[in-house]
Amino acid sequence: MKSILIRGGRVVDPASSLDANRDILLKDGRVSAVEAPGKLNGAAKQEDAEVLDAKGLVVAPGLVDIHVHLREPGQGYKETIASGTAAAAAGGFTSVCAMPNTIPVNDSPEITRWMQSPERGAHIRVFPIGAATRGSMGEALTEYGALKAAGAVGVTDDGKPILGESIMRQTLAAAARAGLSVIQHAEDTRMTGGCSMNAGALAFRLGLRGMPVEAESSLVERDIRLLAELKNSRAHLHVAHLSTAKALEAVKRARRNGLHVTCEVAPHHFVLNEEAVSEYNTHAKMNPPLRAEADRQAMLEGIIEGSVDSIATDHAPHAAHEKEQEFERSPNGITGLETALGLTMAVLHGKHKLPLSRIIALLSTQPASVLNLKGRGSLAAGCSADVVLFDPAKSWTFQASASKSKSKNTPFDGWTMLGSVAATISEGRIVYRG
């Protein structure tokens, strides 16, 4: 593996409290040194390192997405691990955590290892998340210790929330013993049967059944209560794709009470509101659905004030023929790996003036911490050589037709974004050049 010298860039590394012009030497898949400009020239020459000119660019730890759907095994016509990770690299991501709702469900060490096999052709590192229950049926727990040993970094039945109190209590306890996080898709499906968008006046006008905010908030509140009853300091509950003010308030109360509860918000939930589906636009149909403007504002405020731990895409590719159906029949989900940085930069940095260090923390450092991905989300010496170089001032237009994903189901086709990725380096390999 050839060494790489990244020279002349603005290094933004929240984990090291660093925001300054620095040169970085990458060697043998690790960060070898971070020094003042010019100090690594001799070492780089000795290593015969490839030189990347980063003048005018931000150099940051590679982005980390803790919520993606790569569709393999079983649904390669939507996405493959190879195509999904190519899209991730183009978006500046160097690590993704893959949800288990595959076919078959990833509820075993064998499938977990299969997903990480070199034969899958991943461009970046894939961290599988194992199913919390067998077949994600919410009845019998999987073998958490064996899943972790095979490489799983958490457990979830994402897409099929764990409704049974007894099973959820067992899940939290068993995951704590194994040292794994429990990720919950917070949706009480007893309230959402036949629903396809957010409940409210717009749903009424469109003649569609709506999902009430309580379907999300009530399950978050229940899970927090179970976590408190467990009284285990190792237990960790992570709320996936949080979308309502009421659920966010529950998370904030839990933290004030000393519980280990974290949450993520997807870019579409702080960029769009329910009006995006007003023309029955299936490319804006997802679960949880786009909410009312007040909830969108609450997600923004939660991110800005620091109540939200991470931004995660919930990248959910579907084939064109699946999305080109009646709104109620169309599957939930949009792609997001190539637009996350651009949307976050445009809205949070460009419009709301959130500092670049906070942007990088939300997209890299903090998600790596949430799931304990050691050596990721930082450019400190010895960490994995995962780096993204991007121009923070450059506007660009996203064209879905040019996406590296196999699927094009996005509401952001033709949108102007901010922050263009110049290069992505995963474990010391250049996997994308803009």
Count H helices, E strands: the chain?
14, 19
Question: CA–CA separation, 100 vs 151, rounded Å?
Answer: 13
For residue 221, the SS3 value is helix
Distances (CA, A) of 390 to 5, 11, 77, 396, 424: 16, 11, 31, 12, 9
Instruction: Identify whether 314 is a catalytic site residue.
Output: yes
DSSP at 139: S
Return the structure tokens found at 248. Answer: 């966010």
Strands 416-426 and 387-397: antiparallel
Name beta bridge partners: 210. 197
Active-site residue identified among 314, 386, 391, 413? 314
DSSP at 402: G
Sign of the alpha-carbon dihedral angle for 282, 284, 289, 294: negative
Cβ atoms of 377 and 66 closer than 8 Å? no
- Count the neighbouring beta carbons within 10 Å of the beta carbon of residue 344: 26
- CA terminus-to-terminus distance, the chain: 21
Interior/surface letters 173-207, b for 16+ CB within 10 angstroms, e for the rest: bbbbebebbbbbbbbbeebbeebbbbbeebbeebe
Name beta bridge partners: 24. 6, 34
Question: Which has the closest alpha carbon to 363: 265, 289, 236?
Answer: 265
Amino acid identity, position 129: I
Instruction: Give me the active site residues, please.
Output: 314
